[in-house]
Structure 1
Amino acid sequence: MANFEWYRSFITIYKHNSVSEAAKTRIMTQPAMSQHLAALEAEVGEPLFTRTSRKMVPTERGKELYSYLAPLIESLEEATLSFKAVSSPTLPVVKIGTAHEFFRERMAPYLGSLHIRVIAYYGLAAYILDLLTEDKVDIIVTSQKYSAPGIEYLHYVEEEFVVVAPYDYEEPDFNDSKQLEAWLCSQTWLSYGLELPIIRRFWRENFQKRPQMKPEHVLPDLHIILSAIEHGAGISLLPTYMLANSIQTNKVKIICDPFKVTNDLYFAFKIKNSTMPKIRMMIEALKGNMLPTYSQKSPDF
């Protein structure tokens, strides 16, 4: 009869594609891990992995067994952890990497209700991905899907960027998009970066060309850009989830409606950690705080 520990070792080897890495994760010796696998393969009656010089590649039989076992093992581990959590006042700790604007708007207001201890790291997509690959964070929220081994991406939400101007800004009426595009190029723009990251996408999707303009100011902080717009410094593209207070207090307004651009946000985490209860808890908590959109035609945000 198969031993439950053989199954756990098989699942761990499958996730890491390596006996040595699986042994480290389970705090076992490599020979003991290999014995577990050999015993399970003998029980099944055929190989579960093809051994190569670089990694363990699951056979079709191995894939079939994993798809059957993984949910069962995960359910048992979650039940154990949940039982332990009920009897222990210690909250799980989740280290998360994200843009600081996102954290300020979508996480900070809800920290008291998360039932998770959060350690946050802020930075651009490439930086927080490095933190993830180096195991310095458990999960990141990112708009970039980089090709990185062992990383899984899960779609989170679509954020909407609109053109934002000071409240008293005069927006002429235009008969066609060419006139609008020419007028926009002549305005004073604030940008998050010299490469015009979201502005270039806005131009490409709405006008099918690159923007023929240079930003007046480059300010790598969306809240600072919003503040500058409120004080008449120019216009920019900002996510709608930031705008409720500024619009309701008549400090800014959305112009060029319905022209906009959307941006997908993703959760990213190590595949080997994908079944960790604290990762799932964080994902479910953030999904419960989905990004709202704002319409000037409605007072609701």
Structure 2
Amino acid sequence: MVDFEWYRSFIAIYKHNSVSEAAKTRIMTQPALSQHLASLEAEVGERLFARTTRKLVPTERGKQLYAHLAPHIESLEEKTMELKSHLSPAMKTIKIGTTHELFTESVMAHLSGMEWNTVTYFGDADHLLELLKEDRVDIVITDKKLATPGIEYVRLMEERFVLVAPPDTAVPEFARTEEMERWLTEQRWISYGLELPIIRRYWKEFFNTGPVINPVHVIPSLHLILRAVAEGAGVSLLPTYLLKQPGAAERRWRTLFEHMLVRNELLIGFKSKHKHVLDINAFIKHIRERNED
């Protein structure tokens, strides 16, 4: 007789192409999970994965089995979570993965009066995706959509970035776009990361090329970048919502070229199998509605 847990282990291996990664998500030891796979292969009578040097690749029989099993396993897990939701009288806890800035902007202002408890984890987009894949968070709020099987995204809101500079920055008159680009290239830039996020998009959109600059400071915090700009450390691109917050660096900065805005879409990511879980679905709806106000 087939053990239902063999199926769950098979699904996990299929999704991760790795026994070790599947074992982590199932909170099992690798030998125990490998035994599940061996037992299922013995029951089926065929190999379900081909072993390569780097990962496990499903065989045709493995693909066929997954196609039959996955909808049923996910449906059972979903119904189990819904049943828990209906039976438990306690306030539900939603686990959120996001950045400090996005939490401040899209969640913190709406905590009062929520019908959920929340536990929040901070990190960059790649780290947050791993937390979501491992079920350590229920949703992620991010500006980066990563194509990952089993993960879906819905739009939360749009943020707009504008150039911010110290208040005494002298800006000359520009006769041509090339002159503006040259002047911007000569400025001391502060970036959120070495890969120049947003800055590259700014250059591509308005100058149709990539920026040839080296940031003088890399600070992975938008709030601290604004503080650095206010201290005269350089210029940067910052979201307009940050500039509207009370006491934002005591307004010791100025915006330049306000018509040159870069738009960036913020997203809520979640596991496809959880899209109909009542509490997660209601929380996503709540956050989206509040951020549309």
What is the TM-score with the length of structure 2 in the denominator? 0.70
- Residue of structure 1 in register with 2:270 after alignment: 269
Describe how 1:59-208 pairs up with structure 2 within 5 A. Answer: 88=89, 90-208=90-208
The 1:289/1:240 distance shift into structure 2, 3 A limit, reads farther
The one-letter code of the counterpart of 1:57 is: A
Compute the displacement of 1:210 (Å): 0.9
Q: Deviations over 1:63-97 (max 9, x none)?
A: 9xx9xxx9xx99xx97x888767xx3x21111110
| Structure 1 position 204, deviation (Å) | 0.7
CA distance in 2 between counterparts of 1:257 and 1:181 reads 15
Change in 2 beyond 3 A, CA 1:240/1:53 = same
- Structure 2 counterpart of 1:227, which letter? R
SS in 2 for 1:284: helix
Residue matched to 1:35: none
Measured against aligned partners, the alpha-carbon deviations of 1:136-194 in whole angstroms (never above 9, x if no partner) come to 11110122222212111222222111111123332223233211111111111101111
Deviation at 1:114, TM superposition (A): 2.2
Q: Distance in 2 between matches of 1:175 and 1:271?
A: 52
- Which secondary structure does the structure 1 equivalent of 2:203 belong to? helix
**Match in the other structure for 2:229:** 229
- 1:57 alignment partner, one of 61, 67, 71: 67
CA contact (8 A) 2:97 2:137 kept: yes
State the identity as a percent. Answer: 37
Equivalenced residue count is: 238
Q: Alpha carbons of 1:175 and 1:132: their partners in 2 closer, same or farther (altered >3 Å)?
A: same
Query: Following TM superposition, by how much is the alpha carbon of 1:111 offset from its aligned partner in structure 2, in angstroms?
Result: 1.2
In 2, Cα distance between the equivalents of 1:17 and 1:267? 28
User: Cα gap change, 1:213/1:83 in structure 2, threshold over 3 Å: closer, same or farther?
Assistant: closer
CA contact (8 A) 1:156 1:265 kept: yes
Displacement of 1:234 in angstroms is 1.2
Q: Secondary structure at the match of 2:256?
A: strand
The CA deviation at 1:240 is: 1.1
Give the distance between the partners of 2:172 and 2:206, measured in 1 at CA.
Answer: 18
Structure 1 residue 101, shift from structure 2 partner: 1.2
Q: Aligned partners of 1:258 and 1:284: how far apart in 2? A: 32
Q: SS at the partner of 2:269?
A: strand
Pick closer, same or farther for the CA change 1:172–1:290 going to 2, 3 Å.
Answer: farther
**Partner Cα separation in structure 2 for residue 254 and residue 84 of structure 1:** 53
Q: Out of 106-115 and 217-226, give the one that drifted further.
A: 106-115
SS in 2 for 1:197: coil
Q: Cα offset for 1:286?
A: 1.6
Pairwise mapping of residues 1-40 of structure 1 onto structure 2 (< 5 A)? Answer: none
TM-score under structure 1 normalisation? Answer: 0.68
Q: Report the CA distance between 1:119 and its aligned residue.
A: 0.5
Aligned AA for 2:108? A
The answer for the alignment partner of 1:252 in structure 2 is 253
CA contact (8 A) 2:227 2:249 kept: no
**Structure 2 unaligned blocks of 5 or more:** 1-6, 15-25, 27-59
User: RMSD in angstroms over aligned alpha carbons?
Assistant: 3.5
What residue number does 2:289 align with? 288
Looking at structure 2, the residues matched to 180 and 233 of structure 1 have their Cα atoms a distance apart, in angstroms, of: 20
